Amino acid sequence: MSTEGGATGYIVHHLTPLSVGEGFWTLHLDTLFFSAFLGGLFILFFKTVAERATSGVPGLAQNIAETLVEFVDTQVKDSFHGRSPLIAPLSLTIFCWVFMWNAMDMLPVDLLPMIGSLMGMEYMRVVPSTDLNGTFALSISVFFLIFFYSIKVKGLMGFAKEMTCTPFGPKMMPFNLLLKTVEELAKPISLGLRLFGNLYAGELVFILIALLPPIVQPLLGFPWAVFHILVITLQAFIFMVLTIVYLSLAHEDH
Amino acid sequence: MSINATLIGQMITFTLLVWFTMKYVWPPIIAALEERKTKISEGLAAAEKGQEEIKLAEKKAKSLLKEAKEQSAEIVSAAQKRANQLVEESKDQAKKEGERLLEAAKAQIEQEMLHAKESLRKEVSSLALRAAEQILKEEIDKAKHQDILSKAADQLG
């Protein structure tokens, strides 16, 4: 349990990342480690399958991978009508990676931090999507891609025109620019905050449940965990679908 | 809840992951899926074609069977016809042969009869002659009465 004593201390302890450095150059080692580790798992699994992929009868691993790939591919084909070698793999990566981040939530809240403390690590936050840096890293990368594709497809002038002349025509140029800027900035912010908020709140509830007497814990912990299976998948799915939608909007020429 | 350099680290990781997926994961899996799709559709097409072929072959076999039946019926009827003809012919021939044999037998009988008559006549005449000779003995000169004798012989015939 807590080293500082009391419920508040316990909660704060659980939500404090293991970090090094000062100011902006602080690094959350736990976020970096777990996301990279999960990314490694993702790559390992899919790379193995991709290497052995046959058009014959698929094995279990290939079946799982193919189900995911087809699921993502369908989503991409449904909302994105252009041709892009990037969007589908990007969506697959986002979906799987975010799903794995979120799934860390299902581990008992004290398990990994306890192991960590045995190894001398004072703090540990195991769910990368409860770190704003993690979710914003994804959403800002997506934002850059939106920016890049908007300019690539519409040209610099086309993009400038879209930013200044819609939705109210050239006469309202400064107002249009303000509106569009807010609209574009709202995309990564809402994308990142939505995922962070859901998972942070979820993790917080798990921590609160862990503070209850042991007999009551399963009564609340079990339903919340079951509910979280849905949240985990749903949030990964929403992140992916919105990415596809934003990128297809970027490809659309008005 | 501070935004810090972790963000940059995460973005680098993310970029690497996306790049890797794009380059090494997505294409082979999609290729395998596509290949399987074509294989399945080809298989289905082949199955359909096979079924069609079976239908065609069945049809052909039926028509062949029908033809063979017709042919065999034809052959049987022709053979029957020929057999009837043969029987008829042989009957005719037998009849003719019989008639011929009968004719020949009749002719032979006729001839035998003639022959017998002739020989009988000769014998009777010679018998009569001998009887007359016996009766008359030396009174009759053969040379002198030859004429009478032959007339008598003629009358016997």
Pull the structure tokens for residue A17. 């990342």
Q: How far is A47 from chain B (nearest CA, A)?
A: 6
Residues in chain B: 157
Pull the structure tokens for residue B136. 């008359």
- pTM of the predicted model, to two decimals? 0.72
Identify from B15, B20, B25 which residue to disrupt to test chain A contact, counting A C-beta atoms within 10 A and taking the largest count.
B25
Task: Give the amino acid at A247.
Answer: L
pLDDT band at residue A62, thresholds of 50, 70 and 90?
A: confident
| Phi and psi, residue B103, nearest 5° | -55, -50
Catalytic one among A19, A84, A141, A194?
A: A194
Cα separation, A73 vs A89, in Å, equals: 9
Would the CB atoms of B6 and A97 count as touching at under 8 Å? no
Q: Which residue of A has its CA nearest to B9?
A: A32
Cα separation, A102 vs A236, in Å, equals: 8
Segment A77-100 shows an average pLDDT of 89
Segment A37-50 shows an average pLDDT of 92
Would the CB atoms of B29 and A66 count as touching at under 8 Å? yes
Cα separation, A112 vs A134, in Å, equals: 19
Segment A98-103 shows an average pLDDT of 93
Cα separation, B35 vs A61, in Å, equals: 18
Quote the percentage of chain A above a pLDDT of 90: 39
Would the CB atoms of A53 and B32 count as touching at under 8 Å? yes
Q: Is the CB of B15 inside 8 Å of chain A's CB atoms?
A: yes
Q: Which residue of B has its CA nearest to A73?
A: B30
Q: Which residue of A has its CA nearest to B39?
A: A55
A58 three-class SS: coil
Pull the structure tokens for residue B149. 């004798």
Q: Which of A4-8, A31-35, B20-24, B133-137 has the lowest mean pLDDT?
A: A4-8
Beta bridge partners of A27: A20
Interface of A with B in 48-107 (CB under 8 A): 49-51, 53-56, 58, 62, 65-66, 69-70, 73, 85-86, 88-90, 92-93, 97
pLDDT band at residue A29, thresholds of 50, 70 and 90?
A: confident
ipTM for the whole predicted complex goes beyond 0.85: no
Segment B146-154 shows an average pLDDT of 78
Q: Angle B144-B147-B148 (CA atoms, 0-180°, nearest 5)? A: 95
CB B21 within 8 A of CB A89: yes
Pull the structure tokens for residue B73. 């019926």
Cα separation, A185 vs A62, in Å, equals: 39
A194 is catalytic: yes
Given the structure tokens 């985990």, which residue do they identify? A232
CB A62 within 8 A of CB A49: yes
CB B31 within 8 A of CB A52: no
For position A1, what pLDDT does the model report? 40
Listed residue (A240, A73, A241, A251) closest to A146, CA to CA: A251
Question: What pLDDT digit, counting tens, does each position of A175-200 carry?
Answer: 888 998 999 999 999 999 999 999 99
| Whether residue B81 has pLDDT greater than 70 | yes
CB A128 within 8 A of CB B13: no
For position A18, what pLDDT does the model report? 84
Task: Kindly state the DSSP code that residue B24 receives in the 8-state scheme.
Answer: I
Cα separation, B33 vs A58, in Å, equals: 10
Residue A21 Rama label (left phi>0; alpha psi -120 to 50; beta): left
Listed residue (A247, A232, A246) closest to A98, CA to CA: A232
Cα separation, B144 vs A48, in Å, equals: 156
Segment B131-157 shows an average pLDDT of 74
Higher pLDDT: B128 or B103? It is B103
Quote the percentage of chain B above a pLDDT of 70: 94
Task: Give the amino acid at A246.
Answer: Y
A102 is catalytic: no
Would the CB atoms of B25 and A47 count as touching at under 8 Å? yes
pLDDT band at residue A3, thresholds of 50, 70 and 90?
A: very low
Count residue pairs from A and B with Cβ separation < 8 A.
127
For position A5, what pLDDT does the model report? 59
Q: Angle A85-A89-A93 (CA atoms, 0-180°, nearest 5)? A: 155
* Helix H or strand E encompassing A28: strand A27-28
**Could you give the C-alpha distances from A243 to A91, B29, B105, B111, in angstroms and in order?**
7, 22, 127, 135
For position B140, what pLDDT does the model report? 59
Q: Is the CB of A116 inside 8 Å of chain B's CB atoms?
A: no
